[in-house]
Chain A
């Protein structure tokens, strides 16, 4: 589960929902669902009831929603677990009149479904249009209000696509397009760096900071996170539970997940260090902007020093060029330099 300011994104979502009285939640879970179940349980800690349904194969969002068919009745909301929604957004949908979808403006409309709106209602959706095809910058935020008739629409939809089901519902009747603020997509890793740095506060309780270390105010430290002698943790950084920043290391504007380790004198900036990953002594993630390719799309000039995937290792003295992404279980050997994308389970040697 991806953390922002030391709480999983999903937890921020649950809190927003609970705050405005949405207290019956159905989680559609699949990949690594055990972590989610272990974290949230029955939802008692958040004052909500959580029921789990399992999506065995990840066949898209419409398919995911279908899994909940037996678990919901009447009106319900559909919310993504990996983008942040605030309470005003949820309230706007709750007060809508029947079916509705949250729409918002985006600088990158080509990443999303662009919504064509007529008279406050959905008239059509263009999925990931090419730049010159995008008619507006109003995009589908992926937060919906439906009643259980939507399940029929999904069954009828092309490849069980939720967008297609949305268009069908809009053709059959009115689907209100609710303009919202307070939606933050975190689907790209550089989003995580940016969103995290905006969200962190000065929560240092429960961490173990050596008296000679410097920890800036806008830093969130998890339970039993360690900051060693003479280490520096700069603003915009989250250090997760039981994670370690070694002696003399410098970490800034980064998200360090639970159990991850930054070795002595390492430098880590604008980076994401995933669960139980490790950056060795004197290793460098210098930080800064780079062009990053994801799924064949080029994203220019994004602020991303680097990503170290779950259980991956950057060994002593190694360097990540800006924009480097190490997938899970990969390794950059002692003194080696990595750039671009390093596949899961592979090793970069000097």
Chain B
């Protein structure tokens, strides 16, 4: 998972590309580089963050065309040599690449036999050498080269001969931007959104030639038109706006994001959820299988309960990487939950389900993403761009969106009376205000983080809807504070994990409505008697749990959405523990925002 940016226009390409790389840094950050179109090509690259590249590169250049890359290693250590772009020996052709070229080893052997000298350990470097052997203009050369490649790629290439960027896409996202006197290339819109909002999303198999005044696209040798769409993403969204970290900014954006999520989607008078999903699709199937990874998987676990409850339908959630395909494809609705819409594991699970004959739905944040294009139906979560690697607002928007789908399914299947639907919808519209109310308690959460932040390990427990929230709370802490944190179903504690509990392992218990708090209370007593401090998140009117716990956070009364509110406390807790330890919160080690390799 890496970031690509390219520019062709009248201005100095270097600052445009470096700025794009800064914006893309959230996608990968162990090395970065640029290639400027000069004759021969000029390459600057550096292991480390983009800032180190900025230091190493000159302030300006004469070039008006070039490409840049920020990398998250899959093949080869993060070193200067392994950083992209990669070029051939004569510096005639240079390439930046996202994805994995599966047959790179044999191509490399073949090229080395013919006398090519490689400078790096990467799979990517075969491409510039192949380009140098091919014939014709750059676009023809790339067309010939991709014939030889197996695997996934978004490639952006420049040659020393002319001002143009030629790109190719297979299973890895790529967009082109239409500017006024310039055109752009990016692995996502963030790369160039401050210059233009008019974009075209490329499809698998597309090859495009981008010059200062034209963008031409071919697929399978045929010229094709890719629709020009206008993104409503704001440049602002990709800036920190006074916050120390994107993650904290995004935590505080949740009320706004959630208002967008529910906007115009609830009709409380009639008790209907207004979504673009056809009622037939929701009514016809007897099973729902969610496939997702990471935080999205936790949203799916939450949703599966809501589907069983509201729509009276058998629903399961599986890790996309563990998915073996639908059990009864014709009867099964497969719902892919993916923030980016590009998560390789989730796409591959969804494709498999579609191949076997299941109907597929994507629940995603990204318009024009692969998941949105490849599935039968798409529901957008409308959370706006999320830059922090640790997902926060998109989890909340995913859960609320999935709850809307569950209500729509319940209505379509005649399983949910209009009056009940109406009250669920009213709750969903109350989520933004209730989240704000939780956010207002940030100071107390920060104090709690200081109190327990240096303890040995952290256990999160909850039942029913509290279970996915426990998992999500633990994941957040792991991701950004590097502490050992585990989420368990509260009832499972006594079947093993209780052995780990000591006076130095705080237990965070989700005990709101929708989590069978009275049963969890017994588990809280179990850990208390082993001396572990307990932080409980409870309903506004719960007394017993509150008396037992060392620290209590309360959520406003909101039925099945209360665990989602509890999660906001856990997000802030993770943030403040990580901040206490001075962790690089927006760029946790070894992690990248969305993972487009399997």
Pair B236/A259 contact, Cβ less than 8 Å: no
Pair B252/A259 contact, Cβ less than 8 Å: no
Partner among B256, B264, B269, B437 whose Cβ is within 8 Å of the Cβ of A38 = B256
Q: Does A23 interact with chain B (Cβ within 8 Å)?
A: no
Shortest Cβ distance from residue A103 to the other chain B in the assembled complex, whole angstroms: 32
Considering only residues 233-284 of chain B, those with a C-beta below 8 Å from chain A are: 234-236, 239-243, 249, 252-253, 255-256, 259, 262-264, 268-269
A contact residues, total (Cβ < 8 Å): 36
How would residues 34 to 57 of chain A score, 1 for a CB under 8 Å from any chain B CB and 0 otherwise? 110110111011000011100000
Pair B236/A223 contact, Cβ less than 8 Å: no
Considering only residues 82-136 of chain A, those with a C-beta below 8 Å from chain B are: none
Q: Does B73 interact with chain A (Cβ within 8 Å)?
A: no
Give the chain B neighbours of A210 by CB distance below 8 A. Answer: 269
Shortest Cβ distance from residue A335 to the other chain B in the assembled complex, whole angstroms: 20
B contact residues, total (Cβ < 8 Å): 30
Give the chain B neighbours of A224 by CB distance below 8 A. Answer: 259, 262-264
Pair A259/B242 contact, Cβ less than 8 Å: no
Give the chain B neighbours of A34 by CB distance below 8 A. Answer: 243, 252, 439, 442
How would residues 408 to 443 of chain B score, 1 for a CB under 8 Å from any chain A CB and 0 otherwise? 000000000000000000000110111011011010
Give the chain B neighbours of A27 by CB distance below 8 A. Answer: 242
Give the chain B neighbours of A38 by CB distance below 8 A. Answer: 241, 249, 252-253, 256
Pair A42/B239 contact, Cβ less than 8 Å: yes
Partner among A32, A51, A242 whose Cβ is within 8 Å of the Cβ of B259 = A242
Residue among B235, B241, B439, B440 facing the most chain A CB atoms (10 A cut-off):
B241
Given contacts A40-B241, A224-B262, contact A275 B269 (CB under 8 A): no
Q: Does B556 interact with chain A (Cβ within 8 Å)?
A: yes
Shortest Cβ distance from residue A11 to the other chain B in the assembled complex, whole angstroms: 14
Q: Which residue of A lies closest to B248 (CB)?
A: A34
Partner among A52, A228, A241, A310 whose Cβ is within 8 Å of the Cβ of B242 = A52
Q: Which residue of B lies closest to A36 (CB)?
A: B242
A261 to B429, CA, bound (A): 10
Give the chain A neighbours of B432 by CB distance below 8 A. Answer: 242, 258-259
Q: Does A229 interact with chain B (Cβ within 8 Å)?
A: yes
Partner among B239, B252, B256, B433 whose Cβ is within 8 Å of the Cβ of A276 = B433
A44 to B263, CA, bound (A): 24
A41 to B253, CA, bound (A): 11
Give the chain A neighbours of B269 by CB distance below 8 A. Answer: 210, 228-229, 247
Pair A41/B440 contact, Cβ less than 8 Å: no
A275 to B430, CA, bound (A): 11
Give the chain B neighbours of A52 by CB distance below 8 A. Answer: 242
Considering only residues 284-311 of chain A, those with a C-beta below 8 Å from chain B are: 310-311
**Other A-B pairs beyond A38-B249, A259-B433, A310-B437, 5, CB < 8 Å:** A37-B243, A40-B241, A52-B242, A224-B264, A311-B433
Nearest 8 pairs between A and B by C-beta? Answer: A276-B433, A41-B241, A259-B433, A52-B242, A37-B242, A224-B263, A41-B236, A34-B252
16 contacting pairs across A/B (C-beta < 8 A): A29-B242, A32-B440, A34-B243, A34-B252, A34-B439, A42-B242, A50-B241, A210-B269, A242-B433, A247-B269, A259-B432, A260-B433, A275-B433, A276-B433, A276-B437, A311-B556
Name B residues whose Cβ lies closer than 8 Å to a Cβ of A.
234-236, 239-243, 249, 252-253, 255-256, 259, 262-264, 268-269, 429-430, 432-434, 436-437, 439-440, 442, 556
